[in-house]
A and B are shown apart, each in its own frame.
With several copies, the nearest count.
Chain A
Amino acid sequence: GKTEGDSGHSSADSDLKTIKIGYLPITHAAPLYIEEELGKQHFKHFKLELVKFGSWPDLMDALNTGRIDGASVLVELAMKAKEQGIDLKAVALGHKDGNVIVASNDIHQVADLKGKKFAIPHKFSTHHVLFYEMLKKAGLQYSDVDVVELAPAEMPAALAEGRISGYVVAEPFGAKSVVIKKGKALFQSEEIWKDSVDCALVMRGEILNNHKEASREFITEYLKAGEKAELKDEEAKQILRKYMNIEKDVLDLSLQWISYGDLKLTEEAYEQLRQYMIEMGLSNNPPSFQDFVDNSFIDQVKG
């Protein structure tokens, strides 16, 4: 039980460094799927291993204890871990936009949510922030709506049965309700918070430091995969469906909402996020941009 990774390995070693990346099977992790699928054969400095998790807490446990080297994860969770002293760096975004606020068919405006139940996947999530901001913009108090944390997979069912009146969560769980006509997209995330930061590719510090070559190649390939994903062509969809096994129309809809073009986490967007976290009382002292975000790789690629 050691927290350090196997840092003894040199990246030039004949047995290549295996980079283990955790993910949840959501649309937001699409660049990872594509990177693995298309790049598996020709990575030079590392081997890629994707590890699927069932829930965010499980994934974070593994990331914090160094059982995986990085993850595509809700950025707030990673910030929280950083704040607790875990050495993590955000090196790229997972996607841009692509979160929707889903409401049941009888909800027409934010005010209708008053006194109703509304589900978020996690307290430390962009979805929570989006929800908060939506209420603020509509002039409602946070306490006007009954917020519950719920596993994403349970949300469509809960909405369909009227157990909750709305939810905001990663894709494709939003699209699911829209496709089966049990709900509708009340807002797109950019209507509430422009350039919202959601999932990020987070790496453990010691990997970035001790396996520079591997990290560089991994992130470069990741960004390439993002560009491929942004095409949203048949090949990309094929790959996504291989990792997510969802109905075609659900995938198509959720892809309409999302973009993978520019995956750089900018300082402005990050500062905005920090402000929200402080404002919402999610964190007293979220890590600073300098401490937490490492854009050196992405900048290198973009030249």
Chain B
Amino acid sequence: MKSFRTLTNVLVSMVLLIVIWQAIVLIGGYNDSLLPAPLSVGKAVLKLLLDGTLWTHLQVSLLRFAAGYFSASITAIVLGLLLGRLPVLWGFVDPIVQVIRPVSPIAWSPFIVLWFGIGNAPAIVIIFLAAFFPVLLSTVTAVRKMDVTYLKVAQNLEIGRYHLFSKIILPAIFPFIANGLHIAVGTSWIFLVSGEMVGAQSGLGFMIVDARNQLRLDFVLAGIIFIGLCGLLLDRIIRLLERWMDKQWGIIRES
């Protein structure tokens, strides 16, 4: 019932969007190679779907995304746990992180090429960079703001150092890390396009850049639609995971 209404909503709003878009094209009198009409884009979408191009690119992108995202998350969580428990060390690392974080991964690209070459690696590195900082910061913050009651309970029950991390700290902060992980999915997916601009010959980002180079804006828009949909899908998957976890952890968030 609820999902049915959501579906109707999505359909209605999509139809509305297409109508507005078509209207802009008609009223503005745009050349199809400058602003393609919905129909041309529809054709492009269909073509990409049918001739298998999409799947190849999608697969490559998802693999790169997974590689960058998961390696970033794991590194960031492990480092975050340590740095969160070692405030003195964090005092030194924090300024560096804070200065590096606001720099666009694009700005780094000369150095990324220097160290990581071209093709898969730079795309993965850029996704890594985009995911790393949100997860690191949310982990450190979570560790530092953790409810001290849990730590007190652990002390009181004389729980050892190893169990302290695995049974108390990690699970206690997991919901907060999850939030960081959620944000990271968004930011790193956004940087997919940038990542696949550095010498990659495949992937959704490359597909868009390539179509743009060929002045096929219909394919650019088709690519944008796929990127948007996949981003949405990834977001929803993470959100479901988060919900499930919140339930386990007894956190109740209204929809």
A157 contacts partner chain B, Cβ-Cβ < 8 Å:
yes
Contact with A along B95-131 (1 / 0, CB 8 A): 0000000000000011001110111000000000000
Determine whether the beta carbon of B197 is less than 8 Å from that of A54.
yes
Contact with A along B32-69 (1 / 0, CB 8 A): 11100000000000000000000000000000000000
A85 contacts partner chain B, Cβ-Cβ < 8 Å:
yes
Residues of A within 8 Å of B, CB-based: how many? Answer: 57
| A3-B30, A85-B31, A123-B210 known; A62+B118 contact, CB < 8 A | yes
Q: Which of B2-10, B137-145, B211-219, B234-242 contacts A (4 or more CB under 8 A)?
A: B211-219
Contact with B along A113-155 (1 / 0, CB 8 A): 0000101001110000000000000000000000111111110
Give A58-73 interface residues, CB cut-off 8 Å to B: 58-62, 64-65, 67-68
Nearest CB in chain A: distance from B63 CB, A = 18
Closest to B220 in A: A153
Determine whether the beta carbon of A157 is less than 8 Å from that of B199.
no
Nearest CB in chain A: distance from B185 CB, A = 24
Determine whether the beta carbon of A180 is less than 8 Å from that of B31.
yes
Enumerate chain B residues within 8 angstroms of A61, measured Cβ to Cβ: 109-110, 113-114, 198, 212
Nearest CB in chain A: distance from B48 CB, A = 13
Docked CA distance A151–B209 (Å): 11
| A80-B215, A153-B213 known; A22+B199 contact, CB < 8 A | yes
Nearest CB in chain A: distance from B15 CB, A = 24
Q: Which of A38-46, A93-101, A160-168, A201-209 contacts B (4 or more CB under 8 A)?
A: A160-168
| A1-B28, A61-B113, A148-B118 known; A156+B34 contact, CB < 8 A | yes
A24 contacts partner chain B, Cβ-Cβ < 8 Å:
yes
Q: Which of A24, A68, A163, A182 has the most chain B CB atoms closer than 10 A to its own CB? A: A163
Enumerate chain B residues within 8 angstroms of A59, measured Cβ to Cβ: 199
Nearest CB in chain B: distance from A283 CB, A = 10
Docked CA distance A182–B213 (Å): 18
Docked CA distance A226–B31 (Å): 34
Q: Which of A25, A55, A61, A158 has the most chain B CB atoms closer than 10 A to its own CB? A: A61
Closest to B200 in A: A148
Determine whether the beta carbon of B215 is less than 8 Å from that of A158.
no
Nearest CB in chain B: distance from A184 CB, A = 16
Docked CA distance A154–B213 (Å): 9
What's the A-B contact tally at a CB cutoff of 8 Å? 155
Enumerate chain B residues within 8 angstroms of A84, measured Cβ to Cβ: 33, 215
Enumerate chain A residues within 8 angstroms of B206, measured Cβ to Cβ: 54
Nearest CB in chain B: distance from A199 CB, A = 15
Determine whether the beta carbon of A3 is less than 8 Å from that of B198.
no
Interface residue range, chain B: 20 to 34
Give A65-116 interface residues, CB cut-off 8 Å to B: 65, 67-68, 77, 80-81, 84-86
Closest to A68 in B: B118
Nearest CB in chain A: distance from B51 CB, A = 13
Determine whether the beta carbon of B113 is less than 8 Å from that of A65.
yes
A194 contacts partner chain B, Cβ-Cβ < 8 Å:
no
Contact with B along A244-255 (1 / 0, CB 8 A): 111000100000
Q: Which of A22, A25, A53, A117 has the most chain B CB atoms closer than 10 A to its own CB? A: A53
Residue from B31, B110, B199, B215 within 8 A of A53 (CB atoms): B199
Enumerate chain A residues within 8 angstroms of B33, measured Cβ to Cβ: 64, 81, 84-86, 156, 176, 180
| A60-B215, A148-B119, A245-B214 known; A3+B31 contact, CB < 8 A | yes
Nearest CB in chain A: distance from B60 CB, A = 14
Closest to B209 in A: A54
Closest to B205 in A: A54
Nearest CB in chain A: distance from B151 CB, A = 42
Residue from A81, A117, A172 within 8 A of B118 (CB atoms): A117
Docked CA distance A176–B31 (Å): 12
Contact with B along A3-35 (1 / 0, CB 8 A): 100000000000000000010110000000000
Docked CA distance A229–B184 (Å): 48
Determine whether the beta carbon of A62 is less than 8 Å from that of B213.
no
Enumerate chain A residues within 8 angstroms of B119, measured Cβ to Cβ: 148
B201 contacts partner chain A, Cβ-Cβ < 8 Å:
yes
Please give 9 more A-B residue pairs, beta carbons under 8 A apart, in addition to A51-B199, A68-B118, A148-B199: A54-B206, A58-B113, A58-B197, A61-B114, A157-B34, A158-B114, A161-B34, A161-B117, A163-B117
Interface residues of A (CB under 8 A from B): 1-3, 22, 24-25, 51-62, 64-65, 67-68, 77, 80-81, 84-86, 117, 119, 122-124, 147-154, 156-158, 160-161, 163-164, 172-173, 176, 180, 182, 244-246, 250
What are 27 inter-chain pairs, A to B, with CB distance below 8 A? A1-B114, A25-B213, A53-B198, A54-B197, A54-B198, A58-B199, A61-B198, A65-B117, A67-B113, A67-B199, A81-B215, A85-B33, A86-B31, A122-B213, A124-B213, A124-B214, A149-B210, A150-B113, A152-B213, A153-B212, A153-B215, A154-B109, A154-B199, A157-B113, A158-B199, A160-B31, A163-B199
